[in-house]
């Protein structure tokens, strides 16, 4: 199935009345996550969810970022669906933001058929590889952002008013990458109804509908993604090659631990002191974890400052998401180091689940933001 932006740009609406269950599948660099939802009386019901580490499928420890073959990825996905008791076989799959090209281009005010002819020509200016090697899609950005038809899932660079009559969002995905994902889905017995760039999915499940700008910080294993969202539109993106894996590596070197132990300690206690360690060890653990986290937070503050100075808009709210946002003690450190109000994403709050799972889902929720967002899109657009 070809990559398509259709559906990404539709306004958020209530769920459809169908009884079918749908999947959101997020294949990250160190783990794969899955969520199964169904719609009932306009509510998204959480039926099951699960996560599986990809490291062992590439002969690497849990927590390590790996590049698996489509067949190995499908093997992991099959195991995950079995362990999570997944029954649905259709839904959406995420595309890594780092593997896509997104650009806003200025074009004359012409009709849709003319755009179809113009865009492949214009795209050559922005895409550093042959156009035949990528799948293109595009969307005309609405002029009236405040109207009901505004796109909740757009991505757009904020820049001075262009003289062109219209702005067009151009997205390119390498055909080889799409083929890999199609192989994964086919081998795992999943029907991929759509593929969506991960940041759109995370925004859908983690950000409300306020008009004030918000900075979403997605703490992944190998990278941290930042994007400013204003009026439901992703305005600015920034990628940092620092993440949870680097945090574990620094911790391991500092304490002389193997990667597996460092990863376990990071996940279990993070920035929280533990009686299992001496005062000195607790301090060294905290210092090691903060050494990476502080670099990320410094970059977050730089983005906040830059955006505010350039566009004269204060981004006063930060939402932390991604697997790294589940780090124990993260909230306190974030409040101390970041400029603005801090919140940890709770994507499962947009679903209905048994009350006894509330605390667990809140704790693990940030890592499932993309998977939940994918499943929500499928329910809302059916």
What CATH number should be reported for the domain holding residue 113? 3.30.1490
End-to-end Cα, the chain, rounded Å: 17
Same domain (yes/no): 122, 183? no
Q: How far apart are CA 248 and CA 251, in angstroms?
A: 5
186 and 318 fall within a common domain = no
Domain shared by 197 and 121, yes or no:
no
Q: Residue 281 is inside which H or E element, if any?
A: helix 279-311
Q: In this structure, are 44 and 81 located in the same domain?
A: yes
pLDDT of residue 143: 63
Q: Is 261 a member of any domain?
A: yes
> What angle do helix axes 244-255 and 259-268 make, rounded to 10 degrees?
110
59 plus 113 within the same structural domain = no
> Residues 6 or more apart from 3 whose CB is under 8 A from it?
95, 135, 137, 171, 173, 178, 195
Are residues 42 and 27 part of one domain?
Answer: yes
Query: pLDDT in tens for each of the 382 residues of the chain?
Result: 334 333 333 222 333 333 489 999 999 999 999 999 999 988 999 999 999 999 999 999 999 999 999 999 999 999 999 999 999 999 999 999 888 877 777 888 888 888 888 988 888 888 888 888 888 888 776 664 444 333 344 444 444 444 447 877 788 888 899 999 999 999 999 999 999 889 889 999 998 777 788 999 999 999 999 988 877 777 778 899 999 999 999 999 999 999 999 999 999 999 998 888 889 999 999 999 999 999 999 999 999 998 888 878 888 899 999 999 999 999 999 999 998 899 999 999 999 999 999 999 999 999 999 999 999 998 887 6
Asked if 65 and 38 sit in the same domain, the reply is yes
pLDDT digits (tens, 9 = 90+) for 288-326: 999 999 999 999 999 999 888 887 888 889 999 999 999
302 and 354 part of one domain:
no
DSSP 136: E
**Number of folded domains that form the chain:** 3
On whether the CB atoms of residues 68 and 376 are closer than 8 A, the answer is no
Kindly report the length of the chain.
382
Examine residue 148 and state whether it is found in any structural domain, yes or no: yes
144 in the same domain as 91: no
Whether 7 maps to a domain, the answer reads no
Position 217 in a domain = no
* Same-domain pairing of 318 and 331: yes
- Report yes or no: 138 and 170 within 8 Å, Cβ to Cβ: yes
Residue span of the structural domain in which 167 resides:
99-172
Q: What's the Rg (C-alpha) of the chain?
A: 21
Residue 113 has which token pair?
């058929």
Is 215 within the bounds of a domain?
no
62 and 184 assigned to the same domain? yes
What CATH number did the domain enclosing 296 receive? 3.30.420.40
105 and 26 within one domain: no
């Amino acid at each position: 199935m070809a990559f398509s932006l259709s559906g990404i740009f539709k306004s958020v609406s209530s769920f459809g009345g169908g009884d079918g269950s749908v999947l959101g599948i997020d294949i990250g660099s160190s783990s794969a996550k899955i969520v199964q939802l169904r719609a009932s009386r306009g509510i998204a019901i959480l039926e099951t969810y699960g996560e599986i580490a990809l490291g062992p499928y590439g002969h690497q420890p849990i927590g390590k970022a790996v590049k698996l073959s489509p067949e190995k990825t499908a093997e992991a996905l099959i195991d995950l669906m079995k362990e999570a008791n997944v029954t649905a076989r259709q839904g959406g799959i995420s595309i890594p933001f780092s593997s896509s090209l997104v650009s806003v281009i200025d074009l004359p005010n012409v009709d849709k058929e003319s755009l179809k002819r113009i865009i492949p020509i214009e795209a050559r200016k922005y895409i550093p590889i042959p156009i035949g090697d990528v799948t293109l899609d595009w969307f005309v950005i609405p002029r009236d952002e405040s109207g009901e038809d505004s796109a909740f899932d757009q991505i757009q660079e904020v820049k001075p008013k262009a003289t062109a009559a219209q702005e067009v969002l151009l997205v390119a995905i390498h055909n080889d990458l799409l083929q890999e994902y199609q192989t994964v889905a086919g081998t795992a017995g999943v029907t991929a109804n759509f593929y969506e760039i991960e940041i759109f999915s995370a925004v859908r499940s983690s950000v409300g509908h306020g008009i004030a700008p918000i900075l979403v910080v997605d703490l992944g294993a190998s990278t941290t993604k930042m994007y400013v969202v204003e009026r439901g539109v992703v305005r600015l993106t920034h990628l940092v090659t620092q993440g949870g894996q680097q945090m574990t590596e620094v911790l391991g070197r500092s304490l002389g631990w193997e990667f597996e132990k460092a990863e376990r300690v990071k996940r279990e206690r993070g920035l929280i002191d533990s009686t299992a360690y001496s005062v000195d060890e607790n301090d060294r653990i905290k210092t090691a974890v903060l050494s990476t986290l502080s670099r990320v937070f410094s970059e977050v503050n730089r983005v906040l400052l830059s955006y505010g100075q350039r566009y004269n808009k204060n981004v006063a709210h930060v939402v932390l998401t991604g697997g790294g946002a589940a780090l124990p003690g993260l909230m306190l450190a974030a409040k101390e180091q970041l400029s603005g109000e801090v919140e940890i994403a709770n994507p499962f709050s947009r679903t209905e689940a048994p009350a006894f799972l509330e605390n667990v889902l809140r704790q693990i929720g940030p890592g499932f933001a993309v998977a939940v967002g994918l499943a929500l899109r499928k329910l809302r657009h059916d």
